[in-house]
Amino acid sequence: MLLLLYTLNFVGINYALSGERSNENTSFSIATNGQLFPWNNLRLPSWILPVHYDLLIHPNLTSLTFMGSVKIEVTVVHETSAIVLHSKHMEITSAAIEEETGKTQADLKQLQVLEYPFHEQIAFLSTEPLLVDKKYFLSINYIANLSDGFYGFYKSTYKTKDGQTRLLASTHFEPTSARMAFPCFDEPSFKANYTIKIRRDGQHIALSNMPKVKTLHLDTNLFEDHFAESVKMSTYLVAFIVSDFQSVSGTTSSGIKVSVYATPEKLNQAHYALEAAIKILEFYEQYFDIYYPLPKQDLVAVPDFQSGAMENWGLTTYRETSLLYDPETSSASDKLWVTMVIGHELAHQWFGNLVTMEWWNDIWLNEGFARYMEFISVDATYPELQVNDYLLGTCFAAMGRDSMNSSRPISSKAENPTQIKEMFDTVSYDKGACILHMLRNFLTEEVFQNGIIHYLKKHSYRNAKNNDLWNSLANTCSEEDFTSGKFCFSKGQVAKNAYRYYVDEHFDIAEIMNTWTLQKGIPLIIVEQNKKRIKIRQERFLKGIFPHEPQWSSMQIGFLWHVPLTYITSHSKSIGKHLLKNHSDTVELEEDISWIKFNVDMNGYYIVHYEGNGWDTIIKLLNENYTLFSYKDRANLIHNAFQLVSAGRLSLDRALDLTRYLQHESSNIVLLQGVGYLQVIYHMMERRNISDVTENLKHYILQHFKLVIDSQTWSDEGSVSDRMLRSHLLELACDLEYLPCVQKANEIFRKWMISGGNLTNVPSDVMETVYSVGSKTADGWNFLLERYKVSMSGAEQSKICSALASCKDDAKLTRLLELAMEGHTIKTQDLPSVIYSVSTNPAGQQLAWRFVKKNWSKMLEKFPLGSFSMRSIIVGATAQFSSKQELEEVKLFFESVKEEVSQLRAPHTAVENIEKNIKWLERNLVTLRKWILENL
């Protein structure tokens, strides 16, 4: 960037910076016309505040452009002659301002427009100062192109059954893309009301956040829809869509109209989402004790969509696979996914929309809560989905990310759009959900629920920070509670309640929780048991960096958590609790014990290591009577053991010994957890071509789990948990070339292929396995690709894509990658998942990485740098590497694109991941080889 450090005098601008100018950047900003831009900070000045937007949008789906006009009512806080707001890729055709008393065109004062694209800002300059506490109306006319990507006001397409391509236009503004659709104060704290009008032709409908109140017929085929004024909200929640979609509708018990919109030919897949949305919306109204504040809630399946879904207030938008459910092609896991995504987006109507984080550094207040409320809402409305079992996996994923040095604190600094986009990650979502789960168990369900109700009521239609949440949880009493005599908790009562088992402790919720949100990482709790005396100490848990290495000590400095520990023992009749505030402590029990297990049901966010003979005792107990521990405790023990192997704390043979009892395991969740680790190790050996270990491990898995594999039926019968186990085990068995599995899959595939894909008797839970086996022949692969092109089910297309990526033919894998890059047959939105699927295939890992390097520039044109898509491409394409040569290749590539990726965490994560894999192999290969030979 070229900085022009000379001073330009501009008559008529009153800078009125009043301390707003950035301390870090004292240079001047120069507008595109060479004049001095009156602001040099990424964040907008707060001297002008928006009150109301009157917005008119007219898209042209033929020319792929749109015209817009917006009238923004603003209040002046500091006298100024410059209004600075956001604008990106728009041409401003005119701008004028009038005072609140202005009634005629003569009162409009034309404004000069300056642009500063580097900060995505524009300034409107007035010849007269705008006075404090006065209302003004800023009128702007502009034109722009519909965006070609997935942000702003963008074009989307879909194909009908007879091959016609239809166009629509939809919005996605979070986090910083409302400025691509209309000039605005595009920061979450600048909340305002919106009145939206949309022009469209006769064959289309228009949707926005609020219900339509009237339609004007302007011309032969031109209509203007007027929508009711919105509630006060942030710019990133504004939404509008022009399409030919159709809908199914229903009404909640409180009178909210709920509608699910989809392309006409997929409308039959919208019914389950409608049922789920009504149930979950009704649940949230009860749980939060706050009625949903809008008269309607639309859920729209958008054919081109980068993320999973978006919570625009009253108009939530979804990727088709996150909303549509086809009983013939959607598996049990697809149904669970759709239900949870709906639960997530509807939770946002309160967490995020009603109460919004003040700035993006605390995006976890939106996303962590919405991720956690998925589990609470779906458990309450669809208990048969057994959703709480999958919270374990969410926390395991968060721990995997958080045990890397390249992790970050939940609450982290984020200023520019790239840094802000990178905040939408595992840490904000999954770790956020898991520390809330820990807090809920610590405070009790009653206190937790009362606290979040208090938080939502106190900060409704406003913005909040971390501490606002902690204060609400520490004191759930509001003015209304005192006057109405409702039950609530004062700060003292909360302490008493939470510490029914924490004798004589005093605590401060903010002090405890800041150790989880303001520092990165995860604690390792080291337990040393001696009869009734339990010594505990905490360290920072790091994978791939061992205690004997020189950098380990420096990475421990300054890390200390307040850990709400829970434990059970050989003699306990209830759950023991202890708040660990220091690096070490001692728990004195009432009597001698033979064993202790910390982190009961994995309700805490920490790893536990049992020193001395602690692990030997646990392994013995599992072999003798595994039901001593709950199924969540068993999954937690397996997870901890393998994590400790990666940290150099436990030998691999001990972790593998712990899994030996699994052939008797009755819990599907625990079985999947244990088999999952063996599968990961198997694939690592296969990719590195360590053939003796690969073959022996394959035989061990098939021998050890033969009974449970053979007992699986090729059907969609049983509970959700049974069905998900079936999907996973049969996929694994066929992947391991288990003959009965391969033969059965081939038999089903051949019948399906002979019927021209018309038979509907491929059970959805085994569909991906059947397709993957079928894709191994040239005819099968080509047939699947043709089927992909005509399928009207996103769930089926997703399974076909995974199957196509599992073949061993280089030419076909290359073709698949190229089709995803072109974006016609396979949509661009699916490119990251195609790259990842190919990279996990041993035959495709080098191919996928070469493809990423070759097409890097093209990918950056399709996906913004900090986006989830680019992060998953960077980390996904390299995640399987485990050699020093691959490490050097990856480092060299990131060095060659250093200027582009310098702000990103993802390359550091990718490199650290490969280093971890290399160390794992160096440390464990000999042990693994020996253990398998001994146990075959």
pLDDT in tens, 805-849: 999 999 999 999 999 999 999 999 999 999 999 999 999 999 999
Contact 314, 294 (CB under 8 A): yes
Single out the residue of 303, 311, 314 nearest to residue 243, CA to CA. 303
Single out the residue of 476, 470, 473 nearest to residue 488, CA to CA. 476
Say which residues have a Cβ less than 8 Å from residue 798's Cβ, sequence separation at least 6.
Answer: 321
**Do 130 and 101 share a structural domain?**
yes
Per-residue pLDDT for 542 more than 90? Answer: yes
Question: What is the CB neighbour count within 10 angstroms for residue 533?
Answer: 12
Coil/strand/helix, residue 283: helix
CA distance linking residue 83 with residue 134, whole number of Å? 14
**Do 534 and 500 share a structural domain?**
no
344 is in an annotated binding site: yes
**Do 226 and 112 share a structural domain?**
yes
Least confident among 347-356, 420-429, 481-490, 736-745: 481-490
CATH label of the domain that carries residue 538: 2.60.40.1910
* Backbone torsions φ then ψ of 232, nearest 5 degrees: -70, 125
Average pLDDT over every residue of 158-173 = 96
Average pLDDT over every residue of 740-753 = 97
The band of 758, judged by pLDDT with boundaries at 50, 70 and 90, is: confident
Percent of the chain with pLDDT strictly greater than 70: 93
Q: Which residue do the tokens 């070759």 mark?
A: 854
Taking all residues of the chain, what is their mean pLDDT, rounded to a whole number? 93
The band of 554, judged by pLDDT with boundaries at 50, 70 and 90, is: very high
Contact 134, 83 (CB under 8 A): no
Single out the residue of 759, 818, 810, 765 nearest to residue 783, CA to CA. 759
Domain end residue (candidates: 244, 274, 306): 244
| Whether this model's pTM surpasses 0.85 | yes
Average pLDDT over every residue of 659-671 = 96
Q: Establish if 449 belongs to a structural domain.
A: yes
Domain end residue (candidates: 639, 658, 677): 658
Single out the residue of 645, 555, 633 nearest to residue 601, CA to CA. 633
**Do 455 and 539 share a structural domain?**
no
**Do 202 and 332 share a structural domain?**
no
**pLDDT recorded at residue 753:** 95
CATH label of the domain that carries residue 43: 2.60.40.1730
Structural domain boundaries enclosing 343: 245-405+419-472+496-518
Least confident among 475-489, 759-773, 879-893: 475-489
Contact 643, 544 (CB under 8 A): no
Q: Establish if 800 belongs to a structural domain.
A: no
Task: Specify whether 345 is catalytic.
Answer: yes
Q: Establish if 175 belongs to a structural domain.
A: yes
Per-residue pLDDT for 273 more than 80? Answer: yes
CA distance linking residue 564 with residue 505, whole number of Å? 12
Q: Establish if 397 belongs to a structural domain.
A: yes
* Annotated catalytic residue, options 285, 320, 345, 889: 345
* Backbone torsions φ then ψ of 217, nearest 5 degrees: -95, 105
The band of 474, judged by pLDDT with boundaries at 50, 70 and 90, is: confident
* Tally of residues, the chain: 936
Sign of CA dihedral 355, 89, 904, 374: positive
Per-residue pLDDT for 104 more than 80? Answer: no
**pLDDT recorded at residue 492:** 57
pLDDT, tens only, 196-225: 999 999 999 999 999 999 999 999 999 999
**Range list of β-strands (E), 570-629:** 576-580, 584-588, 596-598, 607-610
CA distance linking residue 32 with residue 29, whole number of Å? 10
**pLDDT recorded at residue 480:** 58
**Do 930 and 850 share a structural domain?**
yes
**Do 425 and 316 share a structural domain?**
yes
Q: Establish if 142 belongs to a structural domain.
A: yes
Q: Establish if 255 belongs to a structural domain.
A: yes
The band of 317, judged by pLDDT with boundaries at 50, 70 and 90, is: very high
Higher-pLDDT residue of 490 and 381 is: 381
Percent of the chain with pLDDT strictly greater than 90: 90
- The Cβ-side half-sphere exposure at 843, using a 13 Å CA radius, reads 12
Angle CA 141–145–151, to nearest 5: 105
* Backbone torsions φ then ψ of 760, nearest 5 degrees: -105, 25
Q: Establish if 674 belongs to a structural domain.
A: no
Contact 556, 563 (CB under 8 A): no
119 is in an annotated binding site: no
Coil/strand/helix, residue 686: helix
**pLDDT recorded at residue 108:** 79
**Do 187 and 112 share a structural domain?**
yes
pLDDT, tens only, 59-72: 999 999 999 999 99
pLDDT, tens only, 571-612: 988 999 999 999 999 999 999 999 999 999 999 999 999 999
Cα 287–chain centre separation: 23
pLDDT, tens only, 629-647: 999 999 999 999 999 999 9
Contact 534, 596 (CB under 8 A): yes
**pLDDT recorded at residue 504:** 45
The band of 557, judged by pLDDT with boundaries at 50, 70 and 90, is: very high
**Do 148 and 276 share a structural domain?**
no
**Do 124 and 38 share a structural domain?**
yes
348 is in an annotated binding site: yes
Domain end residue (candidates: 194, 213, 244): 244
Helix, strand, coil percent content, the chain, rounded in steps of 5: 45, 20, 35
Q: Establish if 22 belongs to a structural domain.
A: no
* Strand partners of residue 558: none
**Do 277 and 181 share a structural domain?**
no
**pLDDT recorded at residue 11:** 27
The band of 27, judged by pLDDT with boundaries at 50, 70 and 90, is: low
Average pLDDT over every residue of 668-696 = 97
**Do 240 and 103 share a structural domain?**
yes
Domain count, the chain: 4
Q: Which residue do the tokens 């990106």 mark?
A: 88
Per-residue pLDDT for 927 more than 70? Answer: yes
**pLDDT recorded at residue 493:** 57
Per-residue pLDDT for 919 more than 70? Answer: yes
pLDDT, tens only, 7-22: 222 223 333 333 333 3
Average pLDDT over every residue of 383-399 = 96
Average pLDDT over every residue of 16-33 = 57
The band of 495, judged by pLDDT with boundaries at 50, 70 and 90, is: low
CA distance linking residue 367 with residue 352, whole number of Å? 8
CATH label of the domain that carries residue 824: 1.25.50.20
The band of 618, judged by pLDDT with boundaries at 50, 70 and 90, is: very high
**pLDDT recorded at residue 7:** 26
Question: What is the CB neighbour count within 10 angstroms for residue 666?
Answer: 10
